[in-house]
Chains A and B, each alone.
Chain A
Amino acid sequence: MANFNFVIDGATDMMSLNPLEMTNFEMMGTIFGIGGILFTLLLSRIGARRQPAHEFEARETADDAIDQYP
């Protein structure tokens, strides 16, 4: 009979539909998933810090010159 039990007893209840009741492989998938998100967050933080600040230059280029349009 399927159930929603969750027990940390080193064994996996294969009748349980509780997502917290995990086999070794599911546990590794979850660890990789959460670890991967943390790693991605860390990379984006480092990337944002390394990105140079945008400096505005008050200079008109030929492409965006207003007087080229009639």
Chain B
Amino acid sequence: MWRVIEKYFVTFCRFYLGGFNLISGLNYFVLFWPQPRIEDSIGNEYVLAAMDLNLFTYAKIFEIVGGATLVFNRFVPLGLMLLMPVTVNIFLVNVPWSPLPHVQLSVTRNMVMHLILLAAYANYFYPMLKFRTTPQPVWRDPSRIGKAL
């Protein structure tokens, strides 16, 4: 029974985070709804600087690609890695500095779901815990990319 609950909980997290990021990313380019207003807070200058440097555009592209991987259940570990900088940045900018409790709760929920998904797909990340490593450059055998797919 717990296995079933666990399976559907992870599925919900995957679809929630994927849908949230996919729509948030698409909304930047298509504008279904007005973009969220920036409230007065200490992190404002950081957000405005990121917008001036067009970093938001890259972040939104990551959100679209990462969100699509989660929604369509393809390359999920890669999608989680792509979305991690976005989730962490939003979390660190909003939780200590946002004056709106709803925003703090929302970004915390996304962060928790992201961590749950990283833990759920941990088997794909265990190889990164290798203590001693030797390089195997991709240019020596590019066909390995095809084999990994």
Contacts and interface: CB of A to CB of B under 8 A. Distances in A.
Partners in one complex: yes
The majority secondary structure among interface residues of chain A is helix
Interface of A: 2, 12-17, 19, 21, 23-26, 28-37, 40
| Size range of the chain B interface in the assembly | 20 to 34
B19 A29 contact: yes
A42 to B, nearest CB: 12
Contacts of A14: 100-103
Interface of B: 8, 11-20, 22-24, 27, 32-33, 36, 71, 100-103, 105-106
Nearest to B17: A29
Main secondary structure of the interface of B (DSSP, over half): helix
B128 to A, nearest CB: 27
B20 A2 contact: no
B15 A37 contact: yes
Contact of A15 (B16, B23, B102, B106): B102
A32 B113 CA distance: 14
Contacts of B32: 24
Nearest to B33: A24
B1 to A, nearest CB: 15
A53 to B, nearest CB: 22
